[in-house]
C-alpha cells in the first residue's frame, strides 16, 4: 500500500504517505462547495504532473552533473464542466542558465514531456508546456 486517506468531514481529506509518514491534506475548491484552504484533489493532480516532470529531469541532470536547483514551475489548471474535470494544464518551467547546447536542452524537454505522470493522463486532457531557459 502506498498511502492511507481519511475523510475528515467538511470536504477535507488527510493523506498519509506510508513509507515516510508525511501527511498532506486536501480541501474541495471554493467553486465546488469547499473552503479552498488546502490543495484540491485536482490541484494535486496538476502539481503531481509538474513535480514528476522536474524530478525525472533532475535524475538525468544528476547523471550529467548538471544542477537544476531553483527551477521554478508555474502551474495553471483549467476546469471544464459537464462532466466537471480538468480540461487543460499549463506548465511553464523557468530553468537556470546552464550553458547547455540545444541538443541537451531538447533531451531535458523530452524527458519532462514523457514523465510517468504525463504518460498516465487521459489523452483528452490538454497539456501545454513551455520551457524557458534563463540566459
Query: Side by side, which strands form the sheet with 72-80?
Result: 72-80, 85-95, 126-133
Distance CA(134)–CA(131), nearest Å, equals 10
pLDDT at 97: 83
Q: Residue 15: give the domain boundaries.
A: 1-38
- Are residues 123 and 81 part of one domain? yes
Asked if 134 and 69 count as a contact pair (C-beta separation under 8 A), the reply is no
Q: Low-confidence residues of the chain, pLDDT below 70?
A: none
pTM for the whole thing? 0.94
pLDDT at 50: 98
Distance CA(102)–CA(114), nearest Å, equals 18
pLDDT at 135: 80
CATH number for 97: 3.30.300.20
- Are residues 116 and 70 part of one domain? yes
- Are residues 124 and 91 part of one domain? yes
Count of positions (residues) in the chain: 135
- Are residues 84 and 20 part of one domain? no
pLDDT at 99: 86
Domain count, the chain: 2
Q: Can you tell me whether residue 98 is helix, strand or coil?
A: coil
Amino acid at each position: 500500500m502506498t498511502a492511507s486517506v481519511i475523510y475528515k468531514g467538511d470536504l477535507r481529506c488527510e493523506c498519509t504517505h506510508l513509507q515516510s509518514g508525511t501527511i498532506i491534506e486536501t480541501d474541495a475548491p471554493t467553486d465546488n462547495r469547499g473552503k479552498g484552504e488546502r490543495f484540491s484533489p485536482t490541484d494535486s493532480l496538476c502539481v503531481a504532473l509538474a513535480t514528476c516532470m522536474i524530478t525525472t529531469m533532475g535524475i538525468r541532470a544528476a547523471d550529467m552533473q548538471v544542477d537544476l536547483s531553483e527551477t521554478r514551475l508555474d502551474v495553471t489548471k483549467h476546469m471544464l464542466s459537464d462532466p466537471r474535470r480538468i480540461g487543460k494544464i499549463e506548465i511553464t518551467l523557468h530553468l537556470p542558465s546552464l550553458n547547455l547546447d540545444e541538443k541537451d536542452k531538447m533531451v531535458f524537454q523530452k524527458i519532462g514531456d514523457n514523465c510517468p505522470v504525463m504518460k498516465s493522463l487521459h489523452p483528452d486532457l490538454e497539456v501545454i508546456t513551455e520551457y524557458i531557459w534563463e540566459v
